[in-house]
Amino acid sequence: MAKHLSTRDLDLIVTAIDSWEGKLGWEALCDAVEPLIGTRPTRQTLNAHQRVKDAFAHQKARLKSGFVSTKRPASLSIAEQRIRHLEAENSRLLQQNNVLQERFIRWQYNAHKSKMSQEKLDAPLPFVDRDSSEAKQ
pLDDT attached to residue 96: 94
Q: Residue 25: inside a domain, yes or no? A: yes
Within 13 Å, how many C-alpha atoms sit on residue 77's CB side?
5
Q: Residue 13: inside a domain, yes or no? A: yes
Q: Residue 135: inside a domain, yes or no? A: no
Q: Residue 97: inside a domain, yes or no? A: yes
**Mean pLDDT (10-residue bins), the chain, 137 residues:** 79 91 91 92 91 91 74 75 91 94 94 91 87 59
State the residue range of the domain holding 54: 7-116
The total domain count for the chain is 1
Q: Residue 127: inside a domain, yes or no? A: no
CB contact set of 3 (below 8 Å; sequence gap of 6+)? 39, 41
**H helix runs in the chain, sequence order:** 7-18, 26-37, 43-47, 50-64, 74-113, 118-121
Q: Residue 2: inside a domain, yes or no? A: no
**If you ran DSSP here, which 8-state letter would residue 123 be given?**
P
pLDDT attached to residue 28: 93
Whole-number Å distance between alpha carbons of 5 and 38: 11
pLDDT attached to residue 118: 87
Q: Residue 105: inside a domain, yes or no? A: yes
Q: Residue 123: inside a domain, yes or no? A: no
Q: Which among 12, 14, 16, 7 has a CA at the least distance from the CA of 96?
A: 14
